[in-house]
Amino acid sequence: MITNNFAIYSNKILLELVFDILYFPIWWYSKGFYNFIVILGKFLNERQKALAFFVWLKNIGTPMYGQTDLAGKAISVFIRLVQIIFRGVLMLFWLAFVFVLLSIWLFLPILVIGELYYQIT
């Protein structure tokens, strides 16, 4: 009885292992890639919230500290413009970082297969 169960379950485990190995590339470039894009989208959204880039952009014409005179408005616009440029550069950095991660995700299996082939030959 024990040897029979061992034979049955070892065949099932072996078949699942072969299926998982064959299904992995399909998953990597379909569902896995989609999930990775969703995670990176959430990451970019969190970076935008941390930098409050759109808040600064939306309020560029609003005077800071309620000063409505000409000098207060000019200083406010200048300071907000500097902040928008600085925060925009940081957002571009995070966007480039996400594109680098996406590129790594797409080319990593090809690189691994190439390195395995190089090591075998």
- The alpha carbon dihedral of 71, 74, 78, 84 has a sign of positive
pLDDT digit string, tens, across residues 53-66: 889 888 888 888 87
Q: How far is CA 77 from the centre of its chain?
A: 33
Query: CA angle 66-69-73, nearest 5°?
Result: 70
Q: Specify the pLDDT at position 31.
A: 96
Confidence of residue 70 (pLDDT cuts 50, 70, 90): confident
pLDDT digits (tens, 9 = 90+) for 36-53: 999 999 999 999 999 998
- What are the sequence ranges of the domains in the chain? 2-120
Within 10 angstroms of residue 16's Cβ, the number of other Cβ atoms is 10
Statement: the pTM of the whole predicted model exceeds 0.75:
yes
Rounded average pLDDT over 85-112: 95
